[in-house]
Amino acid sequence: MSDLFFNTRSRTNDLIYRFWAKEKVWLFSAALLTVLLIFAPKLGVTTAGFAAQNLLNVAPFLALSVGIAAYAGATGADGLIARAFTGSPTVMILIAAAVGGLSPFCSCGVIPLIAALLAMGVPLSAVMAFWLASPVMDPSMFLLTTGVLGIEFAIAKTIAALSLGALGGFVVHFLSRSGALSDPLRDGVGNGGCGGAKVRTAQPIVWKFWSDDARVAKFWREGIKTTLFLAKWLTLAFILESLMLAWLPADLVARSLGGTGLAPIGIATLVGVPAYLNGYAALPLVGGLMGQGMAPGAGMAFLVAGGVSSLPAAIAVWALVKREVFCLYLGIALAGSFAIGLLFQLWTAL
């Protein structure tokens, strides 16, 4: 009898442990919202609404990227897509940076597409170039930046996006030549580490895959798995973003980024990483600070660093790639943002 009791208890504990290991992100998000709703109901409702609204906003991009990835996997076209990125590394990186600078993705919204590209075996150098350039600038951001900060600032920010993407792509490319970063995705995220096989071995492509039951099953299986994985991390990211917007005083940011010289640029770079502000909402703040005497280079560094490596985006990146890739991504974002701010400050001083 005692053996049966302990065996049942052991199986229950095992199930609880597996559930926690698999769904701890959902559980943490739910626990955080529950605590807020109990002890700060108004903030809890606002946070839940903010997360839901942002998930709704990113849903079209999520559905499109997941659908493309699932379709590519079911038809066998993922290998074809991967082989399209096997040309000259220089050309690949420059094209990826240019496309990233023109795409309408935010730092979190780009995550689903990045997951799909890496799972298809697209080289990390090209993906990193797209990844770094995409959140910094897009057509609507260019127009708004022009209206708030002027055409010179908008053009400089566009050049910054392309340059940061190219820098990250070439850094990753040179590191990859030594055999490093060959398997960037975390276990269970995708098959990017084995993506090279899709490039080397041509597989039959069945465009009308819905006539094949096995391919249909693969389409739904991969689509649901990827959607749930990305949704849980984006949910947590948006919850934390809402809390940061609620608890981070705007006047604190203003005091930290005011002044001239190298120090404000360095502070702006460091503050921009964790202190996420929506790219559109940050423009008026930076415009006001620059009107009060903040160095233009500090404003540029803040906008670039905040767009690329804000805390919500960093969480999503951490969930997607292995630790060394995450550290490289963060290091390039920090160093690149500081250098861009410094160069822009020197340009405006001429």
Per the model's pLDDT, the better-predicted residue between 136 and 6 turns out to be 136
pTM for the predicted model, two decimal places: 0.66
**pLDDT tens-digit readout, 255-288:** 666 666 688 888 888 877 665 555 655 776 677 6
pLDDT > 90? residue 146? no
DSSP state of 193: G
**pLDDT tens-digit readout, 19-56:** 666 678 888 899 999 999 999 999 999 999 988 987 88
Reference 126, options 177, 81, 99, 92; nearest CA is 92
**pLDDT tens-digit readout, 75-130:** 876 556 555 566 788 888 988 888 877 765 666 666 666 777 777 677 888 888 88
CA 72 to chain centre: 22
* For the chain, counts of helices (H) and of strands (E): 16, 0
Amino acid at 288: G
Helix then strand then coil, in percent of the chain rounded to 5, is 80, 0, 20
Task: Give the model's pLDDT for residue 35.
Answer: 94
**pLDDT tens-digit readout, 119-129:** 767 788 888 88
Amino acid at 58: V
Task: Give the model's pLDDT for residue 157.
Answer: 92
Query: Are the C-beta atoms of 93 and 123 separated by less than 8 Å?
Result: no
Token couple for 217: 């099953």
